[in-house]
Copies of this chain bind each other. A is one copy, B any other.
Amino acid sequence: LDKIIQGFRRFRNDVFPQQQAFFEELAQEQNPRAMFITCSDSRVVPELITQSEPGDLFVTRNVGNIVPPYGQMLGGVSTAIEYAVMALGVKHIIVCGHSDCGAMKAVMNPEKVEHMPTVKAWLRHAEVARTVVEHNCCGGHDALSVLTEENVVAQLDHLRTHPSVASRLASGQLFIHGWIYNVGTSQILAYDAAQGKFRPVDEEPWPMATPRARYTPEQP
């Protein structure tokens, strides 16, 4: 803990004073432009890899960047989505997986989490990705990166089952994105739904995962 407390003192004494006015303004209200759903892994820092500032990203993080489908048993992720879309009005939701993910390894090798019943139950939400890989794909190390991609695709599908998301997707007022961040190379791939594959996030034309809008929002 000592190192954390020292870190906090550096923040308070060195960082904060330089942006005091910014933080004071921020204290009254948040108005984030995007929601970021990613893994709890300590190596994935959303604000760092997008060079965002406090106030920019509404963040929810869990083991495996899971989005449970909307249903009768709703928990923290579903709550964050509903709050982000309905109370804060975010325009983008990014689901971000990453390389070397412990959760994805556990999906492939369930015996690793046999003695962790809660982890095992949670990863059932990634079972769809495991099944796709198992029935359609490759073995070895490759399987891990394909699984990581399929997991992001599956969580995007789950995201679309949430009423607040579906209604804004239908009218083109919300955009959803599926990313994979590579810790060792700084690469980010994004899901291109039209091509059914992942491409570099900033390659033109930008890869889009948002389904076609079926309605035109009313004009003012």
4 A-B pairs with least C-beta separation: A27-B184, A69-B69, A7-B51, A75-B75
B-side contacts of A196, CB under 8 Å: 212-214
List 15 interface pairs A-B (beta carbons < 8 Å), by A numbering. A3-B33, A8-B50, A27-B100, A27-B184, A61-B61, A62-B77, A63-B83, A71-B73, A78-B122, A82-B116, A82-B119, A131-B167, A132-B163, A136-B215, A197-B214
Expressed in whole angstroms, the minimum distance between the Cβ of A218 and any Cβ of chain B is 8
A69 adjacent to B158 (CB under 8 Å):
yes
Q: Which residue of B lies closest to A25 (CB)?
A: B184
Expressed in whole angstroms, the minimum distance between the Cβ of A200 and any Cβ of chain B is 10
Residues A1-41 near B (CB distance < 8 A): 1, 3-12, 15-16, 23-24, 26-34, 40-41
B-side contacts of A185, CB under 8 Å: 27
Residues A76-101 near B (CB distance < 8 A): 76-84, 86-87, 92, 94, 99-100
Of listed A43, A137, A212, residue having the most chain B CB within 10 A: A43
B73 adjacent to A102 (CB under 8 Å):
no
Quick check: is A199 within 8 A (CB to CB) of the other chain? no
Complex CA–CA separation, A104 to B180 (angstroms): 33
Expressed in whole angstroms, the minimum distance between the Cβ of A182 and any Cβ of chain B is 8
B3 adjacent to A137 (CB under 8 Å):
no
B-side contacts of A124, CB under 8 Å: 72
Complex CA–CA separation, A162 to B129 (angstroms): 10
Instruction: Indicate whether A55 sits within 8 Å of B43 (C-beta atoms), given known contacts A87-B116, A135-B171.
Output: yes
Q: Which residue of B lies closest to A6 (CB)?
A: B51
Q: A71-B71, A132-B167, A135-B168 are in contact. List 18 more A-B contacts (CB 8 A).
A: A1-B92, A4-B52, A4-B94, A5-B202, A5-B206, A6-B51, A10-B51, A11-B48, A15-B48, A24-B184, A40-B59, A42-B58, A43-B54, A63-B79, A75-B76, A79-B122, A82-B117, A132-B166
